Amino acid sequence: MAETAERRDFEATGKMKAVMGKYFVELTQGPDEGRKTAWCTSVGPAELLRALGLNVYFPENHGAMLGATRMATDLIPLANARGFSPDICSYLTSDVGSYLKGESPLQKMKLPGPPKADVLVFNTNQCRDVKDWFQFYAREWDVPCLGIHTPRAIGDLGDSIIDDVARQTEALVGPLEAVAGAKLDPARLAETIGLSRQCTVLWKAVLETAANVPSPLTFFDGTIQMGPAVVLRGHEDAVDYYEVLLAELEGRVADGVAAVEGERFRIYWEGMPIWGKLKGLSQQFLDLKTCVVASTYCNSWVFEDLDPADPFRSMARAYSEIFICRSDDRKERYIQEMVEKFKIDGILFHDAKTCPNNSNNRYQMPQRLQEKLGKPYLVVNGDLNDLRLYSEEQTRTNIEAFVEQLAEA
Ligand code: SF4
């Protein structure tokens, strides 16, 4: 390829780095300041933990950092040696490897590693691995591991599921109060849920700017910009940040500024990011003048059903409605909506070897969607963190051929 296009960064990114830096400093200082630390799964009851004044840490975010810094691949074998299979979640295995070796990307930020948990709180809405992951640390440190067991492959989300999940969430309050050494203040919970909802609305609006042609934003930008939505929902810093980013994106749209200069094609990314290869992939799509405009992954932090007036039921609904725990029929309907909204030309499915939960190509979904929508698809074999499972050369060739196919369509 003759030409190398340049990625356009956002002015807001500096502010995002400051917001994330502040979060990590406060997080790692929390225990010294007498705050108890709760580990929380990415779609766990973060609002409840925050409202109780706990220091809230998200190990999946740490997993993504281990992937993005390419530390993961060397750390995974340490967890394998302790009995965690190389076939299970590579966030889990790289995080456990990081703990065993005492090496973390946080140290590159001149911070101590992740804070030790006083309590670990999971929700199985995304997978079973999070529970096994948290139980490892609970045994290691002799601390409680609490959780919500949400059904999976949900079709219609009826009252019976919402009632059950709401009850399970409410049952966490007593044990969490005991750890936090504080009573849950309902007004603070409502305020936290309100902030979380504001963050969701803004994050969704950020992602939806990509429905414009040309798109002002790519999936690769989204994987960077989503940090505050993941670790700071329920906090005003996330709300303040997305107001700034959204204004910049709206400015780009008004001025016709494209994230991918000369955008020719628009792709939907279904599945996990390949964290250690985002830069190379982003560059390849830029050079091919093809914009990956939307993804299931970035959309997964949109929780519109949160309602401060109905905290437990609305958390139950919001966290049971997410894509990952829905039936294939629901997932297909959702992708169809995305294809229409974002004017998609083709769908890329990432088959992440160690995350079957986020790999939706394995039971004929691409074929069914192609038949329904008439859009070509590509399956990329790889992984979120374990780069031994990814062939850069093969993927490059396959993406090139896919874009040629789009050009011929
Ligand atoms: S959803 Fe996949 S990547 Fe995320 S924690 Fe579960 S197995 Fe790991």
Is residue 273 pLDDT above 80, yes or no?
A: yes
Ligand 1: centre distance to CA 347 (Å):
21
CA angle 141, 143, 149 (to 5 degrees): 120
Is residue 4 pLDDT above 90, yes or no?
A: no
Instruction: Enter the tokens of residue 161.
Output: 């599921």
CA 362 to chain centre: 21
384 vs 7, 100, 273, 404, CA distance in Å?
A: 22, 20, 6, 26
Kindly state if the Cβ of 19 falls inside 6 Å of ligand 1.
Answer: no
- Could you report the per-residue pLDDT of 18-30, keeping only the tens digit for each? 999 999 999 999 8
Kindly state if the Cβ of 126 falls inside 6 Å of ligand 1.
Answer: yes
Kindly state if the Cβ of 207 falls inside 6 Å of ligand 1.
Answer: no
Contacts of 155 (CB under 8 A, 6+ apart): 326, 327, 329, 330
Closest ligand 1 atom number to CA of residue 92? 8
Kindly state if the Cβ of 275 falls inside 6 Å of ligand 1.
Answer: no
Is residue 2 pLDDT above 60, yes or no?
A: no
3-class secondary structure, 121: strand
Residues 106, 61 contacting (CB under 8 angstroms): no
Closest Cα to residue 146, out of 167, 166, 117, 176?
A: 176
For residue 37, the number of C-alpha atoms closer than 13 Å in the C-beta half-sphere is 21
Predicted model pTM: 0.97
Please give the share of the chain, as a percent, with pLDDT higher than 90.
97
Query: Residue range 185-191: average pLDDT?
Result: 98
* pLDDT given at position 3: 60
Closest Cα to residue 21, out of 95, 111, 103?
A: 111
Mean of the per-residue pLDDT values of the chain: 97
Phi, psi angles (nearest 5°) of residue 145:
-120, 115
Instruction: Enter the tokens of residue 187.
Output: 């007004």
Query: Residue range 159-170: average pLDDT?
Result: 98
Contacts of 247 (CB under 8 A, 6+ apart): none
H or E, element range at 335: helix 328-341
- Could you report the per-residue pLDDT of 102-142, keeping only the tens digit for each? 999 999 999 999 999 999 999 999 999 999 999 999 999 99
Is residue 406 pLDDT above 60, yes or no?
A: yes
Is residue 399 pLDDT above 60, yes or no?
A: yes
Query: Residue range 250-270: average pLDDT?
Result: 98
Residues 37, 26 contacting (CB under 8 angstroms): no
Look-up of token digits 């993941």? 230
Look-up of token digits 């700017």? 209
3-class secondary structure, 264: coil
Residues 234, 25 contacting (CB under 8 angstroms): no
* pLDDT given at position 1: 46
Instruction: Enter the tokens of residue 341.
Output: 């909204």
* pLDDT given at position 210: 98
167 vs 56, 150, 194, CA distance in Å?
A: 22, 11, 21
Ligand 1: centre distance to CA 81 (Å):
20
- The best mutation among 358, 359, 386 to test binding of ligand 1, ranked by most ligand atoms within 8 Å of the C-beta, falls on 358
Kindly state if the Cβ of 16 falls inside 6 Å of ligand 1.
Answer: no
- Could you report the per-residue pLDDT of 248-257, keeping only the tens digit for each? 999 999 999 9
Q: Where are the strands (E) in 41-161, listed by range?
A: 55-57, 119-123, 145-148
3-class secondary structure, 279: helix
